[in-house]
């Protein structure tokens, strides 16, 4: 089973101010230590159509921010994005257009492409979420292993990242059900849909339906149903 983990295999980045970041990183987790510096470069060069509402906090056109939301710098919020009550952006957050950051959701050091939804009680740390990715209520990206060691990506081969904090890598149109836990370094392929209350780890191929069955996951892929051990 082909477990795609490269940036170009997971994302179609059409957000102009993010294209360079996606093109220079062969693997998406390589973006994570670069986010802050990349954002500072964008801010220094100027963001057309964006307005600075606080020091190093830039928002695009038609952005809605609830008064109870907290946004720490640096942050770049794309056009037509909505930030709902009690959302907490802890810095190094950059989004594309049309995103929803929902009530009591917490984000830090992450990249969201266009039309991403993290609408209810989500935690997204040290993660990359693709176009139209959706996280159901209460689903979280766990970004630190219990032993504190660097994250290893368990794909077709083992990839040593050398990075201690990696949350979830969600390909375009990945759909995560309510109450799911995305364990550190989990990669979810394009268009894969995950049922609620599932604990995810490893690399999930694109175009799958994932259901929790204890330690095994039942996958439906190209109309075939098979047991798949994560």
Structure tokens at 140: 């979280």
Q: Which helix (H) or strand (E) covers residue 9, if one does?
A: helix 7-10
Q: Which residues pair with 181 in a beta bridge?
A: 140, 199
Mean pLDDT score of the chain: 92
Structure tokens at 148: 């504190």
Please tell me the chain's helix, strand, coil percentages from 3-state DSSP, rounded to the nearest 5. Answer: 15, 35, 50
CA distance 55 to 34: 20
Could you give the 3-state DSSP secondary structure of residue 20? helix
What pLDDT is recorded for position 230? 37
What pLDDT is recorded for position 211? 87
* Residues marked as catalytic: 120
Higher-pLDDT residue of 111, 3: 111
Q: Which residues pair with 76 in a beta bridge?
A: 58, 94
Q: pLDDT band at residue 96, thresholds of 50, 70 and 90?
A: very high
Token pair 């082909």: residue: 2
Question: Where are the extended beta strands (E) located within 121-196?
Answer: 123-125, 128-129, 134-135, 140-141, 152-154, 158-160, 168-170, 175-176, 181-182, 186-188, 193-194
Q: pLDDT band at residue 51, thresholds of 50, 70 and 90?
A: very high
């Amino acid at each position: 089973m082909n477990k795609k983990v490269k940036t170009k295999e997971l994302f179609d980045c059409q957000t102009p101010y993010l294209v360079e970041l996606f093109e220079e990183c062969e693997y998406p987790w390589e973006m994570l230590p670069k986010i802050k510096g990349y954002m500072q470069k964008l801010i220094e060069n100027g963001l057309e159509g964006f307005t600075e509402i606080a020091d190093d906090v830039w928002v695009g056109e038609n952005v809605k921010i609830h008064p109870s939301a907290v946004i720490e710098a640096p942050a770049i919020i794309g056009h037509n994005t909505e930030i709902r009550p009690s959302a907490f952006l802890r810095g190094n957050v950059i989004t594309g257009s049309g995103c929803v950051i929902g009530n009591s959701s917490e984000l830090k050091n992450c990249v969201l492409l266009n039309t991403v939804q993290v609408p209810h009680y989500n935690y997204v740390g040290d993660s990359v979420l693709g176009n139209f990715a959706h996280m159901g209520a209460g689903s979280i990206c766990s970004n630190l292993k219990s032993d504190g060691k660097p994250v290893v990506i368990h794909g077709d081969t083992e990839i040593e990242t050398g990075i201690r904090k990696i949350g979830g890598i969600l390909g375009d149109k990945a759909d995560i059900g309510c109450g799911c836990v995305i364990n550190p370094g989990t990669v979810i392929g394009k268009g894969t849909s995950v049922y609620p209350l599932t604990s995810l780890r490893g690399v999930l191929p694109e175009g799958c339906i994932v259901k929790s069955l204890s330690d095994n996951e039942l996958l439906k892929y190209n109309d075939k149903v098979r047991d798949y051990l994560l």
